[in-house]
Amino acid sequence: MTTQPQKLYSAEFVSLIFILFFGFCNMSVFYSFYSYLERLGISAEWRGIVVGLEPMTAFFLRPAVGVFIHAGNAMGFLRFSMILLAMILCDYTVTDSLPGLILLRICHGAAFVTLVSAGVALLVHFIPREKSAQGFGVMSLASLIPYAVAPMLTEIALRHFRNEALIYAMVSIMAVPGIVLIYAVGPRIRKMLAKMDPGYLQRPAIGHLWQNIRRVPVILILIMNLLVFFTYATVFYFIKSFLVVQGIGQDVGIFFAVSMGVMIVIRTGFGRLMDSGNKFRTLGGMALFLAAVCALLPWVDSLLKLFSAAVCYGMAMGGILPLLNSVMFEFSSRQFQGINSNLMLFMMDAGFFLCPVIMGTILASGGSYTLLFLICSGTTLVLMGLLAGLSRWQSVHADLPDEKG
């Protein structure tokens, strides 16, 4: 059996990070998609559903895709999905009807979930267990950097092109370096995988999969990840519309740039500290801080308050997500690290799907943005309760034989 890697920043790890980065560039421009649908004349009852169709597709496909894709076949899926994503992005320029957008969003979700699942299935095999918080923190940069830069650049571009669909199509060019890198690094990755235990290069038995999913830590961590991403998606999809109501909608790019920038600093500068400290205690503190930030968001009505909220939001999210992934990684056996990491992404899909549908329905029914942010504050407090339950479970089972298999 192969041992866990000792070095984090290997050529394979860094290359896969960049491949995912180019894939996430296509998603980061869709922060304004709800507003774009409004401009197209799509009814309020359908906007949240259309926005949520992409993550909804990923939500339903991720379990099957995450199990079917493994280290042995992931490179082929990376190539296919990256090419498909580029084609789908261009289709937004010729699709403006409700049926067409529904079909396009479903295809978009299928391509994206395949890309990310394949990338994660490979990446986890290049992360040392004792550096898991650092590893997942660096992995998250693949999505954070595009989300930090794209909204501000998109807002600038919209002043000239005044067409979101054209922006979506222009971003498809980012798939080109991703495809080139996949072909360039493919032989090296396959050579490294050939040294692994053959059991890691094939799909686990269904019975073993079910046994893994039923474990209490896995269930609790997955629910916590869902709650975090429900909050994350609420801010992502509705912050622009909220700021427009507050009279500072033109500054939404600043919020994304600052918050994502702070997340990047936290995940790159404090990863080693998160690995060495008490992860449960740190998670609890950050969850409480996030709950307070969400509760105070409705009072943001000036550029100074927006900047402060972005910094605080970035600090909280900067630590919560890599820590949750790190905890899941450490609770998982080697065989299921890739599958459980993809299940975490499944919860991300669920959050991004449920959020626009539920929150969009609340807004369409006369609810306020204040209510949306207070709901997020409440869900974050629930996360703290689940974290306490996981900590108690660990203390009870600390002296029992290792269940990770």
Q: CATH no. for residue 79?
A: 1.20.1250.20
d(CA 398, CA 83): 47
pLDDT of 398 > 70? The answer is no
Amino acid 107: pLDDT = 92
- Kindly state whether residue 108 falls inside one of the protein's structural domains: yes
Greater confidence (68 vs 399) lies with 68
DSSP 338-383: HHHHHHHHHHHHHHHHHHHHHHHHHHHTT--HHHHHHHHHHHHHHH
Q: At what angle do helices 98-123 and 74-91 cross, to 10 degrees?
A: 150
Q: What is the mean pLDDT of residues 121-146?
A: 78
Amino acid 228: pLDDT = 94
Task: Report the range of poorest mean pLDDT among 152-161, 258-267, 279-288, 376-385.
Answer: 152-161
Q: pLDDT per residue over 173-185, tens digit each?
A: 888 898 899 888 8
Amino acid 350: pLDDT = 83
d(CA 195, CA 14): 19
On whether the pTM is more than 0.75, the answer is no
Amino acid 198: pLDDT = 57
Biggest distance spanned by C-alpha atoms of the chain: 64
List the end-to-end C-alpha distance of the chain, in Å, as a whole number: 14
**Total domains in the fold of the chain:** 1
Q: Is 71 left (phi over 0), alpha (psi -120 to 50) or beta?
A: alpha
Q: Are 282 and 323 in contact (CB under 8 A)?
A: yes
pLDDT of 400 > 80? The answer is no
Greater confidence (23 vs 224) lies with 224
Greater confidence (111 vs 346) lies with 111
Q: What is the mean pLDDT of residues 266-273?
A: 77
Task: Report the range of poorest mean pLDDT among 94-108, 143-157, 390-404.
Answer: 390-404
- Kindly state whether residue 228 falls inside one of the protein's structural domains: yes
- Kindly state whether residue 159 falls inside one of the protein's structural domains: yes
Task: Report the range of poorest mean pLDDT among 14-23, 105-114, 153-162, 260-269.
Answer: 153-162
d(CA 290, CA 314): 9
Q: Are 116 and 16 in contact (CB under 8 A)?
A: no
Residues ≥6 apart with Cβ < 8 Å to 198? none
Q: Of 164, 133, 163, 20, which is closest to residue 85 (Cα–Cα)? A: 20
The domain in which residue 95 lies consists of 11-395
Amino acid 205: pLDDT = 62
Distance of CA 43 to the CA centre of its chain: 28
How far apart, in Å, are the Cα atoms of 100 and each of 92, 94, 95, 106, 210?
Answer: 9, 9, 6, 10, 37
- Kindly state whether residue 403 falls inside one of the protein's structural domains: no
Amino acid 402: pLDDT = 46
- Kindly state whether residue 299 falls inside one of the protein's structural domains: yes
Q: Are 386 and 102 in contact (CB under 8 A)?
A: no
What does residue 181 show for φ and ψ, rounded to 5 degrees?
Answer: -65, -35
- Kindly state whether residue 4 falls inside one of the protein's structural domains: no
Q: Of 292, 18, 371, 316, which is closest to residue 178 (Cα–Cα)? A: 18
pLDDT of 360 > 90? The answer is no
d(CA 138, CA 237): 24
Question: How many other CB atoms sit within 10 Å of the CB of residue 160?
Answer: 7
Amino acid 1: pLDDT = 40
pLDDT bin (cut points 50, 70, 90) of residue 123 is confident
- Kindly state whether residue 335 falls inside one of the protein's structural domains: yes
Q: pLDDT per residue over 295-326, tens digit each?
A: 999 999 898 999 999 999 999 998 888 888 88
User: What is the CA angle 58-60-63, rounded to 5?
Assistant: 90
HSE-up of residue 339 (Cα within 13 Å, Cβ side): 25
d(CA 242, CA 137): 29
Task: Report the range of poorest mean pLDDT among 89-103, 105-119, 152-166.
Answer: 152-166
DSSP 62-107: HHHHHHH--TTTHHHHHHHHHHHHHHHHHHGGG--SHHHHHHHHHH
- Kindly state whether residue 147 falls inside one of the protein's structural domains: yes
d(CA 186, CA 16): 10
How far apart, in Å, are the Cα atoms of 304 and each of 133, 294, 308, 309, 311?
Answer: 32, 17, 6, 9, 11
What amino acid is encoded at 38 in this protein?
A: E
Percent of the chain with pLDDT over 90: 20
Task: Enter the DSSP assignment of 30.
Answer: G
pLDDT of 206 > 70? The answer is no
Mean pLDDT, the chain, integer = 83
Q: What is the mean pLDDT of residues 27-33?
A: 79
